[in-house]
Chains A and B, each alone.
Chain A
């Protein structure tokens, strides 16, 4: 079974509007972390936001916020006031902490969502 699922292969959003990118995950580990990355056409992976499984509040970083619903195992990324420069691939990833070794630091990625911002 997929550990990280991003059901939207592509999305359009009008400039200045908000958009939500979906991410659901599957783990039996009580301790885990969820990451979102942006990958523009240049290929670099840009870290956006992090949410820990024990964090009480939803993470926010500027225009990015994470709608963390633990019971539903979802960690959707919300981008407010979209800009043309937000057009890129977005990846959701998870790190499971139960492994008491360095392998526990590896990230498992979802399939990604291509976001296209329309002027």
Chain B
């Protein structure tokens, strides 16, 4: 069964509103989770590293004020897309590592901003 759960799987929102995406590790503690973005027919692009109890580390070119990350507990990280615009429409997916040899992904969230 799934060990990383991501919600919602699909969301449509109006331009200018904010959307929160949750990522939970179900049966293990994840001090670090990763948020990726994937455009159609492309690979996964790392957006940020979410660290429990501290600030997220953002990759170059990713606006931290646009993509707010909160890692409030050892099993939950949230990504909030603030003041969403149509260009933010994409597939967002989170990942958590269990040890060094396992990396599990959530189901992904398909965001459409209209």
Contact = CB atoms under 8 A, between A and B. Distances in A.
Contact of A43 (B31, B102, B110): B110
Q: How large is the interface on B (under 10, 10 to 19, 20 to 34, 35 or more residues)?
A: 20 to 34
Interface stretch (B21-29, B38-46, B74-82): B38-46
Contacts of A109: 43-44
Q: How large is the interface on A (under 10, 10 to 19, 20 to 34, 35 or more residues)?
A: 20 to 34
B113 interface: no
B57 A103 contact: yes
B105 A45 contact: yes
Contact of A44 (B31, B46, B51, B107): B107
A109 B93 CA distance: 13
Contact of A47 (B102, B107, B108): B102
B107 A95 contact: no
B34 interface: yes
A32 to B, nearest CB: 10
B44 to A, nearest CB: 5
Contacts of B46: 106-108
Given A105-B103, A107-B95, 18 more contacts: A33-B101, A35-B103, A37-B105, A42-B107, A43-B107, A44-B105, A44-B106, A45-B108, A47-B102, A47-B103, A50-B101, A95-B100, A102-B31, A102-B51, A103-B57, A106-B34, A110-B43, A112-B42
